[in-house]
Amino acid sequence: MRGPHNIWRLVRTGATLERTGAMNVVLDAFRAPRSLRIAARLIGWPFKWLGYAGDPALPPATRALTALGPAYIKFGQVLSTRPDVVGEELAAQLKVLQDKLPPFPRAVALETVARELEADPMSIFEEFSEPVAAASIAQVHRARLKENGRDVAVKVLRPGIEKAFRRDVDAFYLAARMVDLLAPSARRLRPMEVIAHFEGVVLGELDLRMETASSAEFAANTASDPGFRVPAAEWFLSTRRMMTLGWAEGIPANDIAAIEAAGHDRAALGERVLTLFLQHALRDGFFHADMHHGNLKIAPDGDIIALDFGIMGRLDEYTRRAYAEILFGFIRKDYRRVAEVHFEAGYVPADRDIDEFARALRSVGEPIFGMDATRISMGRLLNYLFEVTERFGMETRTELILLQRTMVVVEGVARSLHPQINIWQVAQPIVEEYIRDNVGPKALLRDLTRTAQVLSRFGPKLPHLAEEALMRASQRREPERRRPRWQAAGLVGLGAAGAAVLILIGQGLA
């Protein structure tokens, strides 16, 4: 969607930032160079009168983004997960960005449902309420199924939201290109990558089939977790523009007075929130990455119910092992091992001094462990850790930044429920159990089994692949140095024999 509207949108954006007082906040957060500051002011200041006023009761940055509309609100929320880009202060402001907009009419929602399901909504739903929650992308209605009388939550995308997002994202890309052009020194912020990351997140949220799939995967992973629930997905009533989940009845996690009045054990709830998050991140590698108070409810029986699966985090198995070893090393104050894990994982360049790095890690861990137990923060530790690793040349890893940001949010929820919680005391058994099951001889045997099983699927092809590789290698050598054919055949046989041994090991251990 290229065109003059992008330039106009940028002018309107700059004008709104100026009018709301957010321009300096944003430029300072990005540590913008002088050339970029001048360009931004030239776009915003002369047209300040064209900017939206926003709500004066809000902080400047949230005031501006809220005034600019849904795409900007969502952009702010996504940036709140990237303190490496916008800084801790602005990330904290954006984290509490109000994602509330006026709802659209119930009749419009019913029209969308009718189109998506190709049926009269009232032939499916016995009741369909007015909106009970409205956000930047969609709104939620409570409904009752005619078939079984079960209460469900129906989430419906805002009319025209896809077109609005495509328009604004296109303008964001133009702004990113301008940053690259006008301020080469600001390329360290990777503006094009930031916008691409944002676009990927939003595209996932604009297709509610993806959120339905996330909720179903999360529910399957956590089905055996005591005291935790994920509403069941209604697949046949979920499409690209609407999704249907079981209705979650409970007390919002931030309503402490109501939780106490209901007789729930706040200390147990706080510990369970933290325990569950660590289990999901380490055990499953798939965690709720927006686990704030608004997305958690406390059921009448005390179970914690998770809601809103638009932003989920994923960690591969190797990253999980490295993360667990890092946490375990800090718990034991084994800073040398923490340093070794960073080098083994390739997080820190191999040419750096490992002893110097271990010393820097000690400077991170010791002050935190010296604090009172109620003030110790795993999120703060990870934040300091990333600062140190950046100084030693570690490249930004988006999945770890998302993990760190979520850890901070989860800690906040846990402390609001249980102010005296000892984060490390709660985390230690979870991390130790993961280390015991996934690092060491037991994990090695499991890895060998998986390797053997993979090799067994390629067994018939292995001799041919080995022979091809040897032939290509021999052709690159000078004729007089070519390996005799009997040696090549011997190596092929040796490779096949080795594969057979691995297959037998895998079959024996499976």
The catalytic site residues sit at: 290
Three-state secondary structure call for residue 475: helix
The C-alpha atoms of residue 383 and residue 21 are separated, in whole angstroms, by 28
Check residue 395 and report its DSSP letter: P
Dihedral sign computed on CA atoms, order 328, 334, 340, 343: positive
The C-alpha atoms of residue 18 and residue 13 are separated, in whole angstroms, by 9
List the alpha helices (DSSP H) in 370-440. Answer: 378-391, 398-417, 423-438
Burial of 2 (0-12, 13-18, 19+ CB in 10 A): exposed
The C-alpha atoms of residue 420 and residue 266 are separated, in whole angstroms, by 11
Helix (H) or strand (E) holding 115: helix 106-117
The C-alpha atoms of residue 37 and residue 163 are separated, in whole angstroms, by 30
Burial of 178 (0-12, 13-18, 19+ CB in 10 A): middle
Dig out the tokens for 497 from the structure.
């024999």
